[in-house]
Structure 1
């Protein structure tokens, strides 16, 4: 009797699952069914709500020894659903329906205590009222045994990793469905972010003098425009100084003007005029070499105030000051570093491609990467240059990409790690990249089996675009994988995840 009933239960469960999946699953979502020590669990997704039910074994004519625990989770944000009413409807083998109201135990958790009236395969249906909206979810089949002896003979399976709903709700958690996607082939690469030529400048003093300030005093973090005065320098020596060199230009200009007048009057030869012009060119070149602007005499010569003899230290680019090395009243020598200015609107990602991938360099079409301390994936679609020489020290080939950085999130000097995208795409089962964990050098994902059970699987990760990664083994199309909270699932597999309230749901 017992053996026959167990066989009928197994065959009936399979038949019920098959007919139910063909008829209803497309309307309400995805299903998982697991038998737990004569009882079981049911997981359903419907209209953005996950219904997860754990129930003990059921015996004909007896009230359930333990309540059915009903967990409701809103998929967006993975938070518990507080329903106004939850009703369990049990549909027996003969089609009879029995309604059992569920009691509110905690936010998102409800309990129902049914009394089935006949042995056999039953169907569970749940009615929810959430914020005035009605939901009806057909949860699937469950078995009712004729006696306790039949329960002992029933097979039981358990999910390998258990993580209760209350634990899931207590930290950021999320799942996603494995999809079929087309992703470009890629190769791994690490590198760093650097400023492009002209994007980072060191402003140095072309003259020796004392630092003075006119107007606002600029420091690290301040934005300055090209040509804006950063500081004034009062020369402290005439020898090779800005003031002396500027005076040479003024004297040479006057001599050249005088020579032109004399030549027109026929008082000097053309050779003497050419010598005066040559002396002016030499003086202007010397003045320009220390940052002056030759040819301007009047209120300003080379950015310096003619009357006071002050040199204006100007910003050559628009950008943000990242360092200031001089203080008011400080003496600075010729060539002394005064300011560092960076324009980070566009940076370069200099990727170091391992030498073994160098033959693929002619297929490079872009890259994606992450930077230290940030899990976000950044893309670079413009290839600036591909190196022609393998670095003999680290055996890598440099590849440079332009990276737009309008909000200045990326910083010069950040280390980056990502993948170089090649031309030919590959199609296959893909999971969000965030779902893949590196555990002792292995690529691991956690697959949701039921609402509170998971499987750890080692996968063979392939091409990735930064957001999605192809996996050639370990997960099937349509399975749900953990994208946030995988570390907590991993702890649960080791038995080190403590329940949040001592409740073992």
Structure 2
């Protein structure tokens, strides 16, 4: 709010800058009523609408000198509010205006007009006491959940023919557990072995069924029936293991059925890698596919050995990853502590601590590095500001403080612990004071210009 010295009998134009605190944009609609009160009564002046977006210009004229309390009443469809401004001085004449030639403040002020603020993504946040947890900084990494990650090898020797794999899934495709990933044509000796298993199963089945019929006619003993049943069940068990992966009748080669091995997905997930080419000969044990389910992942934090004792009771952590400005929190990702390692890495002298977390929208990619803050059991209520309001000025933390009106000052900070996007302030530089305005300390939430304080 800007206005000249107020003198009895002279008109004075105010410039009242008003922002909608929901989005910190200019108030463009509404009526502003200015009520000046003191022991002698009240004087009312009205601005029917903004002269420019965010700026109301009521014109005032007083008949009595004195100190007034100002009440700004905003009414309109966009926002309605009441702002109190104490100790507004009205002088009897120009001679009564004090000319204070005291030295100006030692710090250099920076002007940042409301008209400039409204044009950018600019907002403020109160500096207030918050419950912050201490933490230990660590380098981390996003890993797949062990139970939801699989390297799929070839279980037989063979050739992956193009005409038998025309529907081969691509990298990035989602597959269900049990879905056929690839068809492998085994060599002749393997084909013979697979066919022998199948034929022995079919023969034992036929013998058991024949034994059942003969037993019903009392042509054989109970013992012979049980022997036939045992042979059948043994052959069936071996065949069913193979039949889950082998199609014995998918292709014809003359008059003979040629078995083909169906490689199936052991878990549901995304195909992260295909490690062969069509037409290639593969061997038993050779890695063919990598599958991972990214819905749940592990956050591995490598805790320095010297700080391990501080995180023994840790249950949570926050972290940032490459490519994202936002901070992720384990507790907000349905996370839990999985384990703390029992051995020390010889090179880094760290111990791994692993959390399991949800992966919303698959933002967290396997292999991403992370900056992790593992929470300790130390929790305290302390004055804090958004971490995004703090700049690094050649190694010194600073913030820009709203001193008065549209004036800001750069202040050096002494910071403490950080937690949940807020940082502890150990120094008292954030206190604001003004002879004419009651200020609430506020801080910017993520723009290049930081502020502290807004006029109320």
Counterpart position of 2:47: 101
Q: What does residue range 52-451 of structure 1 map to in structure 2 within 5 Å? A: 53-64=1-12, 67-91=13-37, 94-95=40-41, 97-101=43-47, 104-131=50-77, 135-145=81-91, 146-147=93-94, 150=97, 152-153=99-100, 160-206=109-155, 207-209=157-159, 210-213=161-164, 216-235=167-186, 237-238=187-188, 241=190, 243-247=191-195, 249-250=197-198, 294-296=238-240, 301-307=243-249, 308=251, 309-326=259-276, 329-334=278-283, 335-374=285-324, 375-379=326-330, 381-405=335-359, 407-450=361-404
Q: Which sections of structure 1, spanning at least 5 residues, go unmatched? A: 1-52, 261-272, 285-292, 491-505
Aligned-residue CA RMSD (Å): 3.8
Number of aligned positions between the proteins: 405
Counterpart position of 2:406: 452
Query: How many Å separate the matches in 1 of 2:22 and 2:416?
Result: 28
Q: Secondary structure, in 3 states, of the residue corresponding to 2:172?
A: coil
Give, in angstroms, the shift of residue 256 of structure 1. 9.4
Does the CA contact (< 8 Å) of 1:365 and 1:421 recur in 2? yes
More off after superposition, 135-144 vs 413-422: 135-144
Does the CA contact (< 8 Å) of 2:141 and 2:367 recur in 1? yes
Does the CA contact (< 8 Å) of 2:303 and 2:351 recur in 1? yes
State yes or no: 1:487 paired with 2:434.
no
Query: How many Å separate the matches in 2 of 1:96 and 1:481?
Result: 31
More off after superposition, 396-405 vs 92-101: 92-101
Does the CA contact (< 8 Å) of 2:127 and 2:443 recur in 1? no
Query: How many Å separate the matches in 1 of 2:205 and 2:29?
Result: 94
Query: How many Å separate the matches in 2 of 1:56 and 1:326?
Result: 80
More off after superposition, 247-256 vs 91-100: 247-256
**CA shift in 2, pair 1:439/1:201, >3 Å:** farther
Query: How many Å separate the matches in 1 of 2:400 and 2:130?
Result: 20
TM-score (norm 2): 0.75
**CA shift in 2, pair 1:312/1:76, >3 Å:** same
TM-score (norm 1): 0.69
More off after superposition, 187-196 vs 401-410: 401-410
Query: How many Å separate the matches in 2 of 1:132 and 1:301?
Result: 71
**CA shift in 2, pair 1:482/1:332, >3 Å:** farther
Q: Which sections of structure 2, spanning at least 5 residues, go unmatched? A: 209-226, 252-258, 433-438, 452-456
Q: Secondary structure, in 3 states, of the residue corresponding to 2:330?
A: strand
